[in-house]
Structures are given as structure tokens and as C-alpha cells.
Chains A and B, each alone.
Chain A
Amino acid sequence: MIDQQIGALFVQIAYIGASAAFILGLRGLTKPDTARRGMQLAAVGMLLAIIGTLLNHEIVTYQFIIIGLVVGSAVGLPMGLLVPMTAMPQRIAVSHMFGALAVTLVGIAEFLHYRDIAGGPGVVKMIALGFETLFGALTITGSFMAFGKLQGFITGRPVTFPGQKLINAAVFLGAVGLYVTLVLTQSGGATGDAGLIMFAVMTVLALVIGVTLVLPIGGADMPVVVSLLNSYAGLAASATGFAIGNNILIVAGALDGASGFILSILMSKAMNRSFANVLFGAFGGEKAAVSAKSAEGLTTRSVTPEEAAMRIGYARNVIIVPGYGMAVAQAQHAVRELAELIEKRGGRVRFAIHPVAGRMPGHMNVLLAEANVPYDHLFDLEEINEEFHACDVALVLGANDVTNPAAKNDPGSPIYGMPILNVQDAEQVIVVKRGMATGFAGIENELFYLDKTSMLFGDAKSVLSQVVTEVKGL
């Protein structure tokens, strides 16, 4: 008995230590030079929590735990070591799926366990258990859909059909209704088969919600979706903590939930759209028709890589604006080479990064860091927007809507009000683009038709390599 109490005390100490390590670890992430050590501390905290748990007196058999740990490590380690940085959005999405799967399985197992206990889970536990399973299950399929869209085996275009919103609302209300009913009926211990069926149907409906939630959302809105699923996975983990009375789960889940929530809000703001609009809006497609201005009668000027190299090579102050196009073309290494060349010739190069450039928060930063661009060359929208006035050449690389001046000066535009990078203030603008296709908002970009703008058509990587060769020869 005393042994057991000492054991329980040790477990609690391990958990408290782990909580502190997680919080301090995240604090390390507030600065690039402390980030790595911070996360190593968090990893130690995790190890501590796992060791503490293995000493839990409830555990009578270790074979299933060991199999799970070995299989998980065998899959997780290569995933961590080998996934290329370009596949990071997919990898983040799929990891939300694994996290949610674990949480949902725990929720189901706990629910079944309480059926064997007189009195049942009770109201409070049922609130937590139901929430955990509901959010866990919808995060599993939602993350899988996001993964599919990012990986490309599910269309990145918004999928809509007549009556979609009605069906979605019905499924959602059905799941929530069952959840509420379960909470109200499981309090007195009447855990009959009715409860089991309700729980099973609720879980299935939640799985359906995950699919229908992400299906109508377009590829470019993925930063918001991925952040939101991050938040859901965290909240579900926190609910698990409430369900089994474990504080470390509550703490870690709350940290994850807060992080995902903050990122979702930042991403929505950067698109000037509300949460609801992202989730139910199905942006793109039909919006093109209401576009205030059409491109008719306007002409663009296209340049050859040689001409572009002349301008870039002699510029003193260059700002590069990367977008999803750079990621698709994998042009980050060519960009770094160009930037180094300009610096060698005495120019200054900075990168202007819009919050929603790419497919997840911070996407461009990771790609450029991988290509060895020092992080003090990377600037946020607020930091650099006033600097475009003083810049000789702004090089827009596969970015579109985030540079569209219509967001500032055309109240009729669907993206009016969205914060943009003030590329139009630069002395001259060079836009690298594959063709004249519109961006995710499906609208024309006035920037391309300005007198100061030159279009450099082609694949970002091959075009930039040509520019690099030309600049070398200057």
C-alpha cells in the first residue's frame, strides 16, 4: 500500500516536471537561437512522463505497450528523419490524424470501460468523454482530407454540390444531439445498449463531419484548416485529461489547443476573412464572375531572363516575395543562389513573407531556411511593408493574391481589405509566373498590368537558374 503511494507520488512528480518542460520548451520557441534547446527540453519532459506512466500501478501487462511503442517508433522515426521539407504541410496534417486517432481510441475504450462500472461515467466524465470522441473523430477524417488535398490525391479545388450546407448542418446537429442525449442519460448509471448505439452513431457522424468540413475548402485555405485541426487535436487531448483525471494531458492539450487557435486567428486575419467564412465559404470558383474588374483592354509586358538579369544584377535593394509557386517549382535553392549573387555584387536582398503564403503557417520560412537563407533576411508583412518604397526591384515569385493592390483600392473586389504586401510601391516589379492564370481568389491582379511591372513567364526554378547564369556573366 505504501509502495503504491510512493509510486503514485513519483508519477505525479514526473508529470509536473514534464508540464514545466513543455511550457519552458515552448517559451524557447519565441526566439530562433533558443528554440532548439527548448524543444530538446520538451522532449526530455515527454520521456519523463512516459517513464512515470510505465510505473503506474494499474498496468498489469506490458506486451501490448511494448508492441505499440516499437511499431510507433519504427514508423515515426523514418517519418521524422526522411520526410522532405517540401512535404511539411502534408506531414503536419497526417500527424494531426495520428494524434486524433490515439485520443479517439482512448475515448472509446474509456466509454466501454465505464459500462462495466456501476453508476456509469456520470455527467461530468461523459461531457469530457463525448467531447473527446467527437472532436477526435472529426479530426481524424478532417486531417486525412487535408492530407489528401495537400498531397494531391484529393482535388485541391473546393468541392460543392447542391444541398451541401443542409446535409452538413443535419449531420452536425445529429452528432451534437446524440452527444447531449448521452450526457443526460449516462448520469444515473443506465448504461444499456441504447447508450452504446448512440455512442457508436455519434462517433460515425463525427467521422462524416470531418470529411464534409474539409471537402468544400480550397487548397489555398489550408493554412487555416491545418491550424484549426491542430487546435481540435489539442482540445480533444485536453478532454481526455478531464475524462481520466490526468493533469498532464489537460496541460499539454491546452497548450496545443491555444497554439492552434492563435494560428487559426492569425491566418484568418491575414486573409481578411472570418472563421465562419473559411469553414463555410468555399472560396474561389464562382467568385470569378463577380470580379469587379476584368483584364480586357489591359496589356502586360513580358521580359526575357536576360533582361531580368540586367535589372536584378544592377539593383542595390531587392525584395523577393515568395509564394506557393516557389514551393511547387522547388525554386528555393535557385532563389538563394540569386540572392547570394546580388549580395556579392554589393546589393541588399530581403525576403517579404505574407502570413498566408504557402499551405501552412510559416511554410515559406521553413523552405528558405532549408535552402540556407539566413533567417535575419526573412521579414514579416508589418516589418517590411514600408520598405518597398525604397526598393529598386521587387521580385514576385509565384505569389499572386497577396500582392494584389485591389485589396487596398477596389471596394468591389472579393479580397478588398485583405492585408497585402505593397509590391506596387517598388520602383520596378518583376513577376515570375507560369502563365496568366488567376490565384486562389479567381480574380485578376492589377499589379501585373502596371507600367512598372514586367512578367517573366516560365517555371520558377528553370527561369531563376537562367537569371543566375546571366547575372554571373554581367
Chain B
Amino acid sequence: MTALLTAIGAAAAFLAVTTSDTATAAASATLVDAQIVEVYVFLLAAFTGFQIITKVPPLLHTPLMAATNAISAISLVASIVIAGAERPLFINIMGMVAVAAATINVVGGFVITDRMLKMFKKTEVPK
């Protein structure tokens, strides 16, 4: 775990160094700032993910897969922009296909996760 995080940190440092070498000084300042913030975001999200997901019991591992799959269909957000922005027609159409594919996962994923979770019941205590 620590090794992985260190590796990510090293990669971030590497990114910072390589970008400042290649781009012009003024451009690199803003670019590196923006990219570094993104690396922080990734790091913190990955760390939070590790912490939470290690606590998910094996009982719920299938719903977990279905759920994270639905959540990662957030790429719908990027697809929507490509389908709707001012781009050549064939790119808009690629975006449209991406929107359809991601929507299948968003809609199907949340519905099926809910269907599964609905089934997990405790022993009914007779009253």
C-alpha cells in the first residue's frame, strides 16, 4: 500500500519535472499547477477508496462490483461534452455512441445493484 502511494507520488514528481522542461516557462507554471492538483485529487480519492472498500464484507462483493461499475460510468459526463460540443460531425457521433454505452452502465448498473441489495435480508425474528 505504502509502496503504491510512494510510486504515485514519484510519478507525480516526474510529471512535474518533465512538463517544466518542455513547455515554456509561463505556460508551464499554470499547467503544472493544474496537473498537480489533479494528481492530489487522484491520490486522495484512491486512498479513500482503499480505506472504504477494504471494509466492504465479502458478502457484498458482487454488489460492490456492480456499484463501482455504475459509478465509473461517470465517463458519461465526458461523453456528453463530446457529443454536444462544437466538433466535426463524426466526433459528435462518436460521442453519441459513448453516451449510449455509458448510459447503459449508469441506468443498468444502479438498477441491478439495487435489485441485488434488496435481496440481502436478515433472519426474521418472530414477534
Contacts and interface: CB of A to CB of B under 8 A. Distances in A.
Contact of B19 (A73, A124, A237, A363): A124
A32 interface: yes
Interface string A312-353: 000000000000000000000000000000000000000001
Interface in A240-254: 240-242, 244-254
Contacts of A375: 59, 120-122
A258 B50 contact: yes
Chain B: interface residue count, which band? 35 or more
Nearest to A375: B120
Contacts of B7: none
Nearest to A83: B112
B22 to A, nearest CB: 5
Interface in B38-86: 38, 41-42, 45-46, 48-50, 52-86
Contact of A256 (B54, B68, B94): B68
A298 to B, nearest CB: 34
A35 B35 contact: no
A319 to B, nearest CB: 17
Interface in A6-64: 18-19, 22-23, 25-27, 29-33, 35-36, 39-40, 42-43, 46, 49-50, 53-54, 56, 58-62, 64
Contact of A99 (B73, B82, B99): B73
A48 to B, nearest CB: 11
30 contacts: A26-B53, A30-B56, A39-B113, A58-B84, A60-B86, A61-B86, A62-B84, A64-B95, A80-B110, A88-B62, A96-B69, A99-B72, A102-B98, A113-B87, A122-B31, A123-B19, A188-B22, A234-B68, A237-B75, A241-B38, A242-B38, A246-B78, A249-B74, A249-B75, A251-B41, A253-B74, A253-B75, A262-B54, A377-B123, A380-B59
Interface of B: 15, 18-19, 22-23, 31, 34-35, 38, 41-42, 45-46, 48-50, 52-87, 91-124
Interface of A: 18-19, 22-23, 25-27, 29-33, 35-36, 39-40, 42-43, 46, 49-50, 53-54, 56, 58-62, 64-65, 67-69, 71-73, 75-77, 79-81, 83, 85, 88, 91-92, 95-96, 98-99, 101-103, 105-106, 108-110, 112-113, 122-124, 127, 187-188, 226-227, 230, 233-234, 237-238, 240-242, 244-260, 262-263, 266, 353, 355, 360-363, 365-366, 369-370, 372, 374-378, 380
